[in-house]
Amino acid sequence: MDLRQLGEFGLIDRIQKRFPPPASTVLGIGDDAAAILPSKKQHLLLTTDTLIEGVHFDPAFSTFQEVGYKSVMVNVSDIAAMGGTPRYILISLGLTGRQRVEAIDQLYKGIERASRETGLDLIGGNIAFSTGPFFISPTVVGEIPKKEMVTRAGAGEGDHLYVTGTLGDAAAGLALLKKGIDTKLFGRLTRRYRAPQARWREGRLLAKARIPSAMIDLSDGLSSDLSHLMERSGLGAEIDAAEIPLSAPLQRAALQMGVDSIEYALNGGEDYELLFSVPERKLKKLELMIKNGLIKAYRIGKMAPRRTGLMLINPSGRRRALAPGGWDHLKKGEKG
CB of 158 to its own copies, least distance (A): 22
Q: How many CA atoms lie within 13 A of 285 on its CB side?
A: 13
Alpha helices in 131-280 (DSSP H): 169-179, 187-194, 200-208, 222-233, 248-257, 261-267
CB of 59 to its own copies, least distance (A): 14
Amino acid at 299: R
User: Residue ranges for the binding site?
Assistant: 32, 47-49, 56, 78, 108, 125-126, 152, 217, 219-220, 270, 327
Q: For residue 198, which of 287, 59, 82 has the smallest C-alpha distance? A: 82
CB of 245 to its own copies, least distance (A): 22
Which residue lies nearer to its own copies by CB, 137 or 247?
137
Which residue lies nearer to its own copies by CB, 163 or 254?
163
Please state, as a whole number, how many other Cβ atoms lie within 10 Å of the Cβ of residue 20: 11
Q: How far apart, in whole angstroms, are the C-alpha atoms of residue 274 and residue 217?
A: 4
| 101 DSSP 8-state letter | H
Which residue lies nearer to its own copies by CB, 54 or 305?
54
Q: How far apart, in whole angstroms, are the C-alpha atoms of residue 250 and residue 18?
A: 38
CB of 166 to its own copies, least distance (A): 21
Which residue lies nearer to its own copies by CB, 130 or 314?
130
User: Residue ranges for the binding site for Mg(2+)?
Assistant: 32, 47-49, 78, 126, 217, 220
Which residue lies nearer to its own copies by CB, 138 or 165?
138
Which residue lies nearer to its own copies by CB, 232 or 252?
232
Please state, as a whole number, how many other Cβ atoms lie within 10 Å of the Cβ of residue 238: 18
CB of 255 to its own copies, least distance (A): 33
User: Residue ranges for the binding site for ATP?
Assistant: 108, 125-126, 152, 219
User: Residue ranges for the binding site for substrate?
Assistant: 56, 270, 327
| 22 DSSP 8-state letter | P
Detail the DSSP E strand segments found in 194-333.
214-217, 236-240, 274-278, 298-304, 310-313, 319-321
CB of 283 to its own copies, least distance (A): 24
